[in-house]
Structure 1
């Protein structure tokens, strides 16, 4: 670039800045003009029309809720004072990716930290103790995100500091959990109940121990907080050990607030956390050594470890060391250290605590990443058995464990189909690998069936477990197509999938297992190949007696649901027709599978020849139905159902 040209550009800079300022001024004037036009337009509306307008919802939120959520003071003021918007009308808002249902405008403003809007709403008469659907108050929302000035203002205007949400969590609890020391100090100065328990039995001291705030913990103790246990039998000391907050553990131990046994358990559990969470073997060994010295003091009564703890195969029958020498030997075997951490956690927390099964599953996942799939399955089976023994049927934790198995088997099959990476060999997935998981999934369905009476939510949960079962069944159906599949394995696969078909389970919308296998619900969970029904599974279920003409609550057959998939899986469509599905069966909206295909801009002739699957009986039934001919007492009773379905 020449020097003269460069100086020309430099001379243009002030001009460009002036133009930019002019542009901004014009933009501001344009915005003011638009606001004036809007006000003039709205001023011409009748009061009932305005009320309807400001009360309407877009994506679940009213204009006032949106303005309060986003901090638009002038808009909110206009809506309240001129449009007489209902200041208590709730709506749906999103914070950090989570949708809050039934949130009043004051809650939105408090949660988002807009103090001027909070003052405006309170001045207009908003209820300071209004709640969302989960019973969260504006004060609790402000405590959650640390809006101290809003907290003070709401309290000074009558907000109740003791109103808890549906889980029993108070404002003090959430301030302690989020580590907002100024808010916690303020609430304590107002004599907030430091020992109040949530639905699951935890206190503010538990929340503080989990978050790791030592300053707040000291304040709570000065205000009379006690070392209570929650519904899992966890003290704040154990809560700090599980989360790995060493400074909290050391403080509680040094203050002599716990017994000798509690101190030993805390040190051992903290050592297990060091192994699994920090991967600090040396630090874990030091903590376990401190605990052992406390168990066997030179001048005191020993507290030996329980002798009736069963040896667990999944943990390689690991036994906890009973002397310092055995403890030192662990350091030479990292795998033994990891098993030791699992043994200690299960002994102290018990099988019901979520962290017990979580870390067992985590360790199994680490083994899977290292290619040790047998060890992974062994640990995951142990975690699943623990969950099924202590959790209610269809628990989300149990679902997660079952789904992890299905994902593992799918991953192994996919990896075997690819060229080996760096010499890594993936072992084959066998029926013996899948069958124990499949039986546990079916058992979970069987346990959950009795819970589905008039409970839509439970039906949805049951459907999710059914989808996982179909995922496992689809993998077994793929094994049938393997060239090395023996007759005995084939027989066992047929028997296993027949058990699923025989359950004759009905889930949401009255759908059968075949309906779900032929719908997009299964594909969205990744249960079937490429998001569409797997032909091998559908064919197997049909051979084993699944009804191809079964109807759901909308009158859809499995063929209708397959036709709705775009693009339609032609092989599954043909499979259903081959096993007796009718191409001209109408659902309760009068649609046939052929018409559904047309609505999705797909051509049935590219899949099948419809004439091949249209019988004379079908044509006669369609004629009777289309022309509304009287057929009762004219045609035999056995043909009535054929006419109705057409």
Structure 2
């Protein structure tokens, strides 16, 4: 069957509208993504070569047609795009695997990750680089190892793929094969010389990966191939890694190897595994048996050779619980689940130390359990202890610290919501302890202060720079939610407490924090997108109360982002724009006729609304603003005739 020609097919030359160009790109992209070869040929076969080149190299949602065809396994489409359309086999794009977006993925990486061996062969025959990488330095070989595509692994290595290229975290192909439990691939990589003792950026080895995933057969293979029991950056051995993740069969195997594991290491592993049984498996009896076995390991020939260092805990979060030091004491708490849980926290902190992520994670987890039971004070005490630990041990803007701050905001919001329910029933007590929310707010501001130093150190166009500004922006939004919660709490506060709130917000603004695209806290407080920060709703934005508090505490109403938008421009993009919010900004001194870098004013950004539905523009139109507009409209050269302050004033109109 012959493919019919398309008469009068429009081109994408200079005369084509922006909408037409986008439509043409979408046709090609959708056909490639869905494997519609016939539709692709109908659309492209009769176009000039330069137009075809533009269409097949254009990106939609970050991906080219070739990238999506490779991702989805459409070999005939890939062949057509490469042979007929001369698509660049190295042009990367963004693709999604298991809900995660991979940035800068070359077509070969996409095919290898998805297991499409025929496309992998086709692309390499067309000259695709077998060692090309994504933005995170993942190679096609590593992608194939991740999902266990053994045939592709063999083929890529035969075509020159480097088995030792690691991703940005330092994880090699062997490490990912071990972590995913792909024995056949691990055996093949070891047979051709993969380094079994290679370390990642954080110091873990393939043995650690086996221990974390529970791959005993691969662990035996690694040990037989000369793998060492090294420690990672947290001081974790593979044995402790298995204990943390609860893989009892790995722990039992390793502690039986007396030539590899010391008695002290066996004791720590058993105690840590017992803590995992308490918190992760909720198996109190199993935990008791493991802790009992550890205590017995401390005794040799009836003598206590390895005593536990029992120190009365000064930590109020653990209710000053003391670690048990004898079998009798252990027996006394076996029937008290809460006491067992406190023991688990103490054991984990003693063995892993405060720097290990699991230490603070399980403290937060235990606090969340108390919160679910309505024991908010115990939850807050534990979470505050974990937050202190994170800010002392982790780098600024760490996602774990952000998660703690966000959890506090969500908890305070829930407590206020619960209090409203009680108030309606006649109980009008203060919903949240003022000291608690102010402590969290000030800790969040300190995170921003320290985070500013990180953001300034890393260029914005680098991976670390992009990551830092994303984390920084999220921290700012969390702070805005805390500010919004504080405005709801203020009716319950005395004058001194209200002053304390305003003083803290003032010091926050003095830092002049800027989020993504140069957004100030005032910009973010006016943006609807700021409502979405976690899984649970906290505050709704734009928030008039938050905006008023920010302005009262010194926020500059005319500050601009990187596109010269004021907070008023941001307010205009809420559909519909809120009249009270707009009037508040204008009363604070925002210029109604200020233009952004696209020459757009507040009025021109309104969608589906007349400016008269929002405010009376005559009330906020000033004579000097009209004069500035005339100067700009008439094209008068004012740069040398005006003082710098007046020049800046005219510039904004």
TM range (shorter): 0.7 to 0.9
Q: Which of residues 485, 488, 500 is equivalent to 1:475? A: 485
Q: Would the aligned equivalents of 2:410 and 2:538 in 1 still touch at CA under 8 Å? A: no
Cα–Cα, structure 1 residues 144 and 574, in superposed 2: closer, same or farther, change >3 Å?
A: same
Cα–Cα, structure 1 residues 355 and 635, in superposed 2: closer, same or farther, change >3 Å?
A: closer
Q: Which of residues 511, 531, 541 is equivalent to 1:523? A: 531
User: What secondary structure sits across from 2:454 in the alignment?
Assistant: coil
Cα–Cα, structure 1 residues 323 and 363, in superposed 2: closer, same or farther, change >3 Å?
A: same
Cα–Cα, structure 1 residues 322 and 38, in superposed 2: closer, same or farther, change >3 Å?
A: closer
Cα–Cα, structure 1 residues 190 and 542, in superposed 2: closer, same or farther, change >3 Å?
A: same
Cα–Cα, structure 1 residues 425 and 281, in superposed 2: closer, same or farther, change >3 Å?
A: farther
Deviation at 1:409, TM superposition (A): 0.8
Q: Would the aligned equivalents of 1:477 and 1:493 in 2 still touch at CA under 8 Å? A: no
Aligned ranges 1:441-452 → 2 under 5 Å: 441-452=444-455
Q: Corresponding residue for 1:219?
A: 221
Q: Would the aligned equivalents of 2:298 and 2:306 in 1 still touch at CA under 8 Å? A: yes
Q: Corresponding residue for 1:255?
A: 257
Q: Would the aligned equivalents of 2:229 and 2:237 in 1 still touch at CA under 8 Å? A: yes
Distance in 2, matches of 1:247 and 1:421, equals 55
Q: Would the aligned equivalents of 1:311 and 1:319 in 2 still touch at CA under 8 Å? A: no
Which region of structure 1 is more displaced relative to structure 2, 73-82 or 216-225? Answer: 73-82
User: What secondary structure sits across from 2:101 in the alignment?
Assistant: strand
Distance in 2, matches of 1:639 and 1:83, equals 56
Cα–Cα, structure 1 residues 462 and 94, in superposed 2: closer, same or farther, change >3 Å?
A: closer
**Across the two proteins, how many residue pairs are aligned to each other?**
609
Deviation at 1:45, TM superposition (A): 5.7
Structure 2 alignment gaps of length 5 or more: 1-35, 461-465
Q: Corresponding residue for 1:612?
A: 619
Deviation at 1:252, TM superposition (A): 0.5
| Aligned: 1:203 with 2:205 | yes
Cα–Cα, structure 1 residues 420 and 234, in superposed 2: closer, same or farther, change >3 Å?
A: farther
For residues 12-57 of structure 1, the C-alpha deviation after alignment (integer angstroms, 9 at most, x for no partner) is xxxxxxxxxxxxxxxxxxxxxx967865886666666655554444
For residues 55-99 of structure 1, the C-alpha deviation after alignment (integer angstroms, 9 at most, x for no partner) is 444433333333222222222233344444433333332211222
User: What secondary structure sits across from 1:449 in the alignment?
Assistant: helix
User: What secondary structure sits across from 2:104 in the alignment?
Assistant: strand
User: What secondary structure sits across from 1:100 in the alignment?
Assistant: strand
For residues 347-387 of structure 1, the C-alpha deviation after alignment (integer angstroms, 9 at most, x for no partner) is 11111111111111111111111111111111111111111
Q: Would the aligned equivalents of 1:509 and 1:552 in 2 still touch at CA under 8 Å? A: yes
For residues 424-482 of structure 1, the C-alpha deviation after alignment (integer angstroms, 9 at most, x for no partner) is 999711322211001111111222223333643334433322222221111111122x3
User: What secondary structure sits across from 1:278 in the alignment?
Assistant: coil
Distance in 2, matches of 1:48 and 1:640, equals 46
Q: Would the aligned equivalents of 1:474 and 1:528 in 2 still touch at CA under 8 Å? A: no
| Aligned: 1:417 with 2:425 | no
Q: Corresponding residue for 1:28?
A: none
Distance in 2, matches of 1:121 and 1:642, equals 57
Cα–Cα, structure 1 residues 260 and 436, in superposed 2: closer, same or farther, change >3 Å?
A: same
Deviation at 1:293, TM superposition (A): 0.9
Q: Would the aligned equivalents of 1:532 and 1:569 in 2 still touch at CA under 8 Å? A: no
Q: Corresponding residue for 2:580?
A: 571
Cα–Cα, structure 1 residues 422 and 121, in superposed 2: closer, same or farther, change >3 Å?
A: farther
Cα–Cα, structure 1 residues 564 and 275, in superposed 2: closer, same or farther, change >3 Å?
A: same
Distance in 2, matches of 1:632 and 1:100, equals 47
Q: Would the aligned equivalents of 2:108 and 2:140 in 1 still touch at CA under 8 Å? A: yes
| Aligned: 1:589 with 2:590 | no
User: What secondary structure sits across from 1:515 in the alignment?
Assistant: helix
| Aligned: 1:544 with 2:546 | no
Distance in 2, matches of 1:41 and 1:538, equals 52
| Aligned: 1:513 with 2:521 | yes
Q: Which of residues 334, 337, 340 is equivalent to 2:337? A: 334
Which region of structure 1 is more displaced relative to structure 2, 40-49 or 369-378? Answer: 40-49
Deviation at 1:518, TM superposition (A): 2.0
TM-score, with normalisation over the residues of structure 2?
Answer: 0.86
Q: Would the aligned equivalents of 2:202 and 2:232 in 1 still touch at CA under 8 Å? A: yes
Q: Corresponding residue for 1:494?
A: 502
Give the alignment's Cα RMSD to 1 decimal: 3.0
Q: Corresponding residue for 1:466?
A: 476
Q: Corresponding residue for 1:115?
A: 117
User: What secondary structure sits across from 2:66 in the alignment?
Assistant: helix
Distance in 1, matches of 2:54 and 2:252, equals 61
Which region of structure 1 is more displaced relative to structure 2, 293-302 or 436-445? Answer: 293-302
Distance in 2, matches of 1:37 and 1:533, equals 45
Q: Would the aligned equivalents of 2:485 and 2:539 in 1 still touch at CA under 8 Å? A: no
Structure 1 alignment gaps of length 5 or more: 1-33
Q: Would the aligned equivalents of 1:320 and 1:343 in 2 still touch at CA under 8 Å? A: yes
Distance in 2, matches of 1:426 and 1:221, equals 62
Cα–Cα, structure 1 residues 594 and 115, in superposed 2: closer, same or farther, change >3 Å?
A: closer
Q: Would the aligned equivalents of 1:268 and 1:291 in 2 still touch at CA under 8 Å? A: yes
Instruction: State the structure with more CA Rg.
Output: 1
Deviation at 1:123, TM superposition (A): 3.6
| Aligned: 1:428 with 2:431 | yes
Distance in 1, matches of 2:286 and 2:584, equals 61
Which region of structure 1 is more displaced relative to structure 2, 391-400 or 111-120? Answer: 111-120
User: What secondary structure sits across from 1:450 in the alignment?
Assistant: helix
Q: Corresponding residue for 1:141?
A: 143
Deviation at 1:251, TM superposition (A): 0.6
Distance in 2, matches of 1:605 and 1:45, equals 49
Cα–Cα, structure 1 residues 528 and 470, in superposed 2: closer, same or farther, change >3 Å?
A: farther
User: What secondary structure sits across from 1:589 in the alignment?
Assistant: coil
| Aligned: 1:229 with 2:231 | yes
